[in-house]
Structure 1
Amino acid sequence: MNVLRLAPEQIQFFEEQGYLIVRKLFDPAAIAEIRDTFMAIAANGTLPGYFEPVPAERAGGDPLLLYPRILYPHRIVPAAKKYMLDSRVMDVLEALFGEEALAAQSMFYYKPPGARGQALHQDNYYLRTEPGTCIAAWTAVDAADQDNGGLVVVPRTQRLDIQCPHEADSSLSYFRDEVDVPEGATIVPADMDAGDVLFFNGSTIHGSYPNRSSERFRRSFICHYVPESTRRLGFHINEDLYDRRGERVGVARNESPGPCGVEFEGAPH
């Protein structure tokens, strides 16, 4: 099997900026399989424990209640596990980590028209990887831009300490946590085409704004990874790691309350 190799300047960009977009990492056939798999789940109405939308009459006009995100689909959806462990992604991660990667977690976001975004945050706050950092692989299933709620990143924040969040504006963000943009830093759009994959460091500040389009979904398949040298991880995923061959790997639970002095009890974002 061919190994996907990053150019030295791509690795340097990631190290300096804290993120990297690999264009057309997934071909149209792969993206179609991901999209069709998750739209079939939505069409079926429910996947108990994973996809449980609220009936329209109870949703109060909130699109995210009609199309809730799916956490950990790799546990039950074969295509999700397949693309979580895809060799193209794992090859890029090995280059960025400088060692083998372990897959920690998967998500699928539908983000239909009118959906709120997710306030700026850092993934390391939730995954609590020790030592080192997690890296996210954010795959665009649709073209993602600022009209339909594409991602934004804050370059050069990957070396920041974990920032303690404050409460976000609930009219713009479905999630309560938000961190501030450091003085002198700039929010940059990470506009992508379907099949592009954005990789970013677990401390890189990122988020998204509402989908303001009238008819465009912004679907995305998102996975988090940690280096093979990881020894402790957040309790919600410390025993749910996979190597690139699909073998289960367990590490110790990170018992630390974190720099903000609280034990996070939700799913990583």
Structure 2
Amino acid sequence: MTTQWVSPEQLLQYKQQGYAVIPGMFAEHEVARLKQGLREVWTEGIRRRTILQSMLFPVESLFPPLRNVHQGHKDLLNWALDRRTFGTASELLGEGALLVGSTGFYKCPGAKQLPLHQDNYDIGADPSAGCAFWISLDGADPGNGGLKMVPRSHRLGLLKPRMPGSRSTYGQSVPVPDHHEAVDVVTAPGDVVVFHGFTVHGSHANRTRYDFRNSLVLHFVGESVKSLFVQNRELLNSAGDKIFRPVNKSHSVKRLFLTSDSN
């Protein structure tokens, strides 16, 4: 297969390890524009009071994940539809890609760790799990909330989740699978981390006093996807056209079953 956006070595690592890092895909000025777009979305959330401060988490509550930022911001939509994003996703998936959603992360100083998890647990793509395209907008390392990946975990399918047992984490989580171990991923601004929808991954807490760890993640599925969870049914193709798929009811039932005794 001839690749344009992903090198043969990166494609091989993605297939074998479940993730790969593509250095410097976005230039410094492009990173600045992406960060500006996220700031505009965040500012609008503050203005409209959809972002509210909690006294329990006074800083972190002011910087929540910004969901589907491409839907209300023209510049961020253009970035989501960029040839590099769709081209990379298509090369990884081996077919035309469809955009599921986008999320901006600030990862403010003091932000908790994101527990190890699998993205397709919440996306519910069937029959294949899709992929993620994670743009590093700041330098990221274990000190300020950088990613961690579990190599080869994408081969294990959907794992049984558990509720986190510590106040330092949130959301569903999965343990490190037997005979696997988590590794840290260090990135520079403009680097992109791509990973499979079944790859177990998370991020460290931000232990710095002043440094944010900005990032933008896009999720894709292949055009052959037959169904997804109801909140993910409205997809976009590379031309920006809306594409719809049925609800994945079987994955929903499995998800409820996996959650019901996960304590």
Q: State the TM-score, normalized to the length of structure 1.
A: 0.89
Q: Check conservation: 1:110, 1:219, Cα contact below 8 A.
A: yes
The answer on 1:252 being equivalent to 2:246 is yes
Q: Check conservation: 2:121, 2:158, Cα contact below 8 A.
A: yes
Q: Hey, what's the Cα distance between the residues in 1 that align with 2:151 and 2:86? A: 23
Partner of 1:6: 6
The answer on 1:130 being equivalent to 2:126 is yes
Q: Check conservation: 1:169, 1:176, Cα contact below 8 A.
A: no
Unaligned 5+ residue runs, structure 1? Answer: 265-269
Partner of 1:46: 46
Partner of 2:144: 148
Deviation at 1:42, TM superposition (A): 3.4
Worse-superposed segment, 196-205 or 253-262 = 253-262
Partner of 1:176: 171
What is the number of residues matched between the two proteins? 256
Deviation at 1:261, TM superposition (A): 3.8
The answer on 1:243 being equivalent to 2:237 is yes
When residues 170 and 176 of structure 1 are mapped into structure 2, their CA distance, relative to the original with a 3 A threshold, is farther
The answer on 1:189 being equivalent to 2:187 is no
State the secondary structure of the residue aligned to 2:221. Answer: strand
Deviation at 1:163, TM superposition (A): 1.2
Q: Check conservation: 2:109, 2:206, Cα contact below 8 A.
A: yes
Partner of 1:230: 225
Partner of 2:157: 161
Q: Check conservation: 2:134, 2:194, Cα contact below 8 A.
A: yes
Deviation at 1:155, TM superposition (A): 0.3
Instruction: Report Cα offsets for 1:25-70 as digits up to 9, x if no partner.
Output: 111111101111222343456264xx73324xx4334422111111
Q: Hey, what's the Cα distance between the residues in 1 that align with 2:75 and 2:166? A: 33
Deviation at 1:231, TM superposition (A): 1.1
Q: Hey, what's the Cα distance between the residues in 2 that align with 1:43 and 1:98? A: 38
When residues 127 and 47 of structure 1 are mapped into structure 2, their CA distance, relative to the original with a 3 A threshold, is farther
Q: Check conservation: 1:113, 1:216, Cα contact below 8 A.
A: yes
Partner of 2:27: 27
The percent identity for this pair of structures is 30
Q: Hey, what's the Cα distance between the residues in 2 that align with 1:191 and 1:229? A: 33
The structure whose residues are more often helix, as a share, is 2
The answer on 1:204 being equivalent to 2:202 is no
Partner of 2:16: 16
Instruction: Report Cα offsets for 1:121-160 as digits up to 9, x if no partner.
Output: 0011111111112101111111111000111000000111
Q: State the TM-score, normalized to the length of structure 2.
A: 0.91
- Give 2:66's aligned amino acid: I
- Give 1:65's aligned amino acid: S
Q: Check conservation: 2:161, 2:172, Cα contact below 8 A.
A: yes
Instruction: Report Cα offsets for 1:151-190 as digits up to 9, x if no partner.
Output: 10000001112112111144222x2211011111010111
Q: Check conservation: 2:5, 2:84, Cα contact below 8 A.
A: no
State the secondary structure of the residue aligned to 1:136. Answer: strand
Partner of 1:36: 36
Q: Check conservation: 1:123, 1:134, Cα contact below 8 A.
A: no
State the secondary structure of the residue aligned to 1:32. Answer: helix
- Give 2:93's aligned amino acid: F
